[in-house]
């Protein structure tokens, strides 16, 4: 698959060449697509033009951007003529088919699906963590899994100071990770539950209101881990540049509309005090420290929802490790923002910074 893409990229410059790019959003009507629009607007992204692309059933509808109604066009092989940056958020099948077409047309693709995340020739980027690898792209940049993106923002400043030897993660993942339809199912099932009415789940495999269950990704029968857990393991290792990092993880779907939370136990190569960790996290970009022991106030999805920063707190020595090398932290981040749309737009901003530096 990537051989053809590499051949395409080798025949042209994969670098962005304008500081006011024409941007296309593939999957513009989805939950992440809508947030991509919001992020471009909120961050005053210097657009030279904007194209909204979706399936045939959405073509002809409009979405509002900065007070202007923009027509949604059907995604076709001719959609990328004149496009400089293509933000993909329409699933791995669409990305595998159309990303090489976009690259051939001259666009840089920032892909939010899992299609290219583990391809060696495609950088997997969280700008605050490993933005230096962005220059390696050959036309496609991969946006990480939402848990990996949010977690590594908190892990990276600690790892730079003291190498991490092992991670153990438990996640509490909101409906937004399964898309707009899952968010609506949570709303409807909650209303039915409170009204004492029966509700048959259609999007997720189990009743969602006032319930939680193992993440709905396909289960690997041999290892007992599901696809979400295996993605987080592989992508966290790649983002942190530690290919063999031992990671244990359990991913749970919880009845929240948006913003994922996670409890992380971090074993370092030497003892690290909570005070030092707190200072490192407080100074790191993309993080907001929420660590008030007196008020029992720590990161919450309700406060992370709609926020650009990842919230981090509950920083303490893990007393399960008598060596003192292990800390426990709690993290919350908006899955639709830092876990998806915001990270993609930040990647695009880094690409523009490179254009400005070269001009």
pLDDT digit string (tens) for 122-169? 999 999 999 999 999 999 999 999 999 999 999 999 999 999 999 999
pLDDT at 6: 54
pLDDT at 354: 77
Rounded to whole angstroms, the Cα distance separating 359 from 94 reads 34
Q: Which residues are catalytic?
A: 146, 260
In this structure, what DSSP letter does residue 200 have? -
Question: Given pLDDT bands bounded at 50, 70 and 90, which one contains residue 19?
Answer: confident
Kindly tell me if the per-residue pLDDT of 110 is higher than 90: yes
Percent of the chain with pLDDT over 70: 95
In this structure, what DSSP letter does residue 337 have? I
Percent of the chain with pLDDT over 90: 92
pLDDT at 101: 97
Nearest alpha carbon to residue 171 among 258, 252, 256: 252
pLDDT at 2: 46
Strand partners of residue 248: 168
pLDDT at 16: 81
Predicted TM-score (pTM) of this structure: 0.94
Question: Given pLDDT bands bounded at 50, 70 and 90, which one contains residue 1?
Answer: very low
Q: Domains, the chain, ranges and CATH? A: 2-144+340-358 (3.40.50.720), 148-335 (3.30.360.10)
pLDDT at 355: 76
Non-local CB neighbours of 279 within 8 Å, separated by 6+ positions: none
pLDDT mean across residues, the chain: 94
Kindly tell me if the per-residue pLDDT of 3 is higher than 60: no
Burial of residue 298, with CB atoms counted within 10 A of its CB: 0-12 exposed, 13-18 middle, 19 or more buried: buried
Rounded to whole angstroms, the Cα distance separating 300 from 259 reads 9
pLDDT at 270: 96
3-state secondary structure 258-284: CCEEEEEEEEECCCCCHHHHHHHHHCC
| Cβ–Cβ under 8 Å, residues 53 and 59 | no
């Amino acid at each position: 698959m990537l051989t053809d893409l590499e051949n395409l990229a080798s025949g042209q410059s994969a670098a962005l060449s304008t500081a006011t790019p024409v941007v296309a959003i593939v999957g513009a009507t989805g939950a992440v697509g809508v947030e991509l629009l919001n992020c471009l607007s909120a961050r005053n992204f210097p657009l030279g033009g904007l194209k909204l692309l979706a399936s045939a059933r959405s073509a002809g509808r409009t979405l509002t951007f900065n007070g202007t109604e923009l027509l949604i066009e059907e995604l076709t092989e001719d959609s990328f003529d004149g496009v400089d940056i293509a933000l993909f958020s329409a699933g791995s099948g669409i990305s595998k088919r159309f990303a090489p077409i976009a690259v051939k047309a001259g666009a840089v693709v920032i892909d939010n699906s899992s299609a290219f995340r583990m391809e060696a020739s495609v950088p997997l980027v969280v700008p605050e963590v490993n933005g230096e690898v962005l220059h390696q792209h050959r036309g496609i940049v991969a946006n990480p899994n939402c848990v990996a993106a949010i977690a590594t923002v908190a892990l990276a400043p600690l790892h730079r100071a003291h190498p991490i030897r092992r991670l153990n993660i438990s996640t509490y993942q909101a409906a937004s990770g399964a898309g707009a339809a899952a968010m609506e199912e949570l709303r409807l099932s909650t209303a039915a539950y409170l009204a004492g009415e029966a509700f048959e789940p259609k999007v997720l495999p189990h009743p969602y209101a006032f319930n939680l269950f193992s993440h709905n990704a396909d289960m690997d029968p041999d290892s007992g881990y599901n696809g979400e857990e295996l993605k987080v393991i592989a992508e966290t290792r790649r983002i942190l540049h530690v290919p063999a990092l031992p990671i244990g993880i359990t991913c749970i779907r919880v009845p929240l509309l948006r913003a994922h939370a996670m409890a992380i136990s971090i074993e370092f190569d030497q003892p690290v005090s909570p005070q030092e960790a707190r200072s490192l996290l407080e100074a790191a970009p993309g993080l907001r420290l929420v660590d008030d022991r007196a008020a029992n106030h720590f990161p919450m999805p309700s406060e992370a929802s709609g926020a650009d920063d990842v919230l981090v707190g509950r920083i303490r020595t893990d007393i399960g490790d008598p060596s003192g090398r292990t800390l426990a932290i709690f993290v919350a981040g908006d899955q639709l923002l830092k876990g998806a749309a915001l990270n993609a737009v930040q990647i695009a901003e880094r690409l523009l910074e490179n254009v400005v530096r070269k001009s």
